[in-house]
Amino acid sequence: MKVKLICFLVVFSTLFCSEDSLVDKLTIITSTSLIPSNPSTKMLEITQESLNIIPGFSKCHRIIVFDGVFHRQKHREEDYNAYKQNVIELTKTHPAFANTTLVFCKEHKHLARALEEGMQHVKTPFIFVHQHDFKIRKPVDSFGIIRSMEENPNLKHIRLHRKWNKPAGMDYYVDEEIEGVSYVPLCRTFGWSDNDHFTRKDYYEQFIFPKIKRNMPMEHFLNPLEREMTLNDPKNHVLFGTYLYGKKGDGNYLIHLNGKRWKS
């Protein structure tokens, strides 16, 4: 019943927004890298197709960033090169890969630096950061999210939770307090994750990238920092602007296909 209500609200919102209204505002960046199933593109096809569940996404410009090969995986480079070529062919034939720019990193950069390279091709103020092994499970109000972020600069990072909007793990504190206006339901979280999220381009350029000192997961740098700063003073949350889409108890918007184990 809850899923049906969410779908209705999303459809209702789209009645007042054209599909083109996101095109000049949002770019989708998908990060991909060498995984055991390469040169197969099946997993990437599934996850790229799932993006179209979100209203407005089908017409947005997409960027797929291919990270370089880690030195311990050089023996699989031939499979990865074949995978890249297969994706190039998909951009010519597959509807979910239309209007897509491919960016190839010359060396292994890890997610943060690969995104940084991909963002050089972004011309919109907002970005949806997507990882190649996350499948969108149900729609969200993308128009309401972007409208909220336009009018409220405190909303900097709105994540789709693959679990539930409740205190657990890195999301050690979750409530429904929103610092400013929002046209969609949100939960404030004091945790930072690179799982699929809506964000601002300048937020990454000015706040996130400068904090990444080595080729490691972004959470390794940002979670301890946000935890320390918000424990000392909850008002510091506004610097990070991290929220979960939906009310408390909602969630499960993503399915993790786990690219490191994907072999189908």
Q: Report the CATH number at residue 112.
A: 3.90.550.10
* Residue 61, in any domain of the structure: yes
CA distance 34 to 58: 26
The region, left, alpha or beta by phi > 0 then psi within -120 to 50, assigned to residue 180 is: left
Separation between Cα atoms, residue 60 and residue 23, nearest integer Å: 5
State the CB neighbour count (10 A cutoff) for residue 128: 24
Q: What is the mean pLDDT of residues 64-75?
A: 92
Structural Rg of the chain based on CA atoms: 18
Among 90, 112, 4, CA closest to 43 = 90
Helix (H, G, I), strand (E, B) or coil at 171: strand
d(CA 49, CA 97): 8
Instruction: Report yes or no on 197 lying in a domain.
Output: yes
Residue 80, C-beta contacts closer than 8 angstroms, at least 6 positions apart = 34, 38, 39, 69
With 80 as the cut, is the pLDDT of residue 83 above it? yes
Instruction: Examine residue 84 and state whether it is found in any structural domain, yes or no.
Output: yes
| Number of domains composing the chain | 1
Mean pLDDT for the stretch of residues 24-40: 96
Per-residue pLDDT of 117-133, as tens digits, reads 999 999 999 999 999 99
C-alpha 50/C-alpha 34 separation (Å) is: 21
Q: What is the 3-state secondary structure (H, E, C) of 243-254?
A: EEECCCCCECCE
**5 within some domain:** no
Whether 2 is covered by a domain: the verdict is no
pLDDT computed for residue 149 by the predictor: 98
Tens-place pLDDT, residues 191-207 = 999 999 999 999 999 99
How many C-beta atoms lie closer than 10 Å to residue 207's C-beta? Answer: 16
User: Which bin fits 226, alpha (ψ -120 to 50), beta or left (φ > 0)?
Assistant: alpha
In a domain, residue 104? The reply is yes
In the chain, the amino acid numbered 153 is: P
- Check if the beta carbon of residue 124 is closer than 8 Å to that of residue 27: yes
Does the pLDDT of residue 57 top 50, yes or no? yes
Q: In this structure, are residues 35 and 70 in contact, taking their beta carbons and an 8 Å threshold?
A: no
State the residue range of the domain holding 219.
20-256
Q: Look at residue 17 in the predicted model and tell me its pLDDT.
A: 56
pLDDT at position 1 is 47
Residue 118, domain member (yes or no): yes
Instruction: Tell me the one-letter amino acid at 162.
Output: R
pLDDT tens digit string along 152-192? 999 999 999 999 999 999 999 999 999 999 999 999 999 99
Residue 142 belongs to a domain: yes
Among residues 67, 105, 48, which one has the least CA distance to residue 217?
67
